[in-house]
Structure 1
């Protein structure tokens, strides 16, 4: 399944009439250039998870970082990493729900 199809299904499956009224999934661009993904996990199977900031830096055009804090998944990466960042989120969900 393509990552965009998966994230759409995941969002729909977690909607409960309340949670989806907030800024649940935000995808924004960074000026370095890059992407930032923030996902509210308060209504999910990983709501109690915390993950200290993990950063992988191989230079200006090959980097990413990810953390889970205060019931929010946050990931950022270079301009070619959007699908990868969403994939990191999927991996975490898949591991918890397995």
Structure 2
């Protein structure tokens, strides 16, 4: 089941970044990966979050399921 509140938050955050320029250069990408899973990339350039410190997060539940890894690299939240 999808947590709509998180998707709604992301939509509102994205909308708050749109200023006529930002959305033409930067944005959010959701793609599939091969193990299977998803990769979410959010470009933080030009936002209040760009350059802020971020501690990587990783979580794994079980051997092959329910895992995630979160990092910020080169101004992109993944």
Please list, as runs of the form range in 1=range in 2, the aligned pairs for 1:25-40 lying within 5 A after superposition: 25-40=28-43
Task: Report the counterpart of residue 42 of structure 1 in structure 2.
Answer: 45
Choose from 5, 11, 14 the match for 2:8.
Answer: 5
2 CA distance for matches of 1:23 and 1:45?
14
SS across alignment from 1:16? coil
**Which residue does the alignment assign to 1:17?**
20
Q: Which has the larger radius of gyration?
A: 2
Residues 26, 45 of structure 2: 8 Å contact kept? no
The normalised TM-score by structure 1 is: 0.65
Q: What pairs with 1:13-92 in structure 2 (closer than 5 Å)?
A: 13-51=16-54, 53-58=56-61, 59-74=63-78
Q: Which runs of 5+ in 1 are unaligned?
A: 75-98
Q: Structure 1 segments of 4 or more deviating over 6 A? A: none
User: Which structure has the highest helix share of the two?
Assistant: 1
From the superposition, tell whether residues 64 and 57 of structure 1 become closer, same or farther in structure 2 (CA, over 3 Å).
same
Gaps of 5+ in 2: none
Q: Which has the higher contact order (CA 8 A, sep 6+)?
A: 1
How many corresponding residue pairs?
A: 74
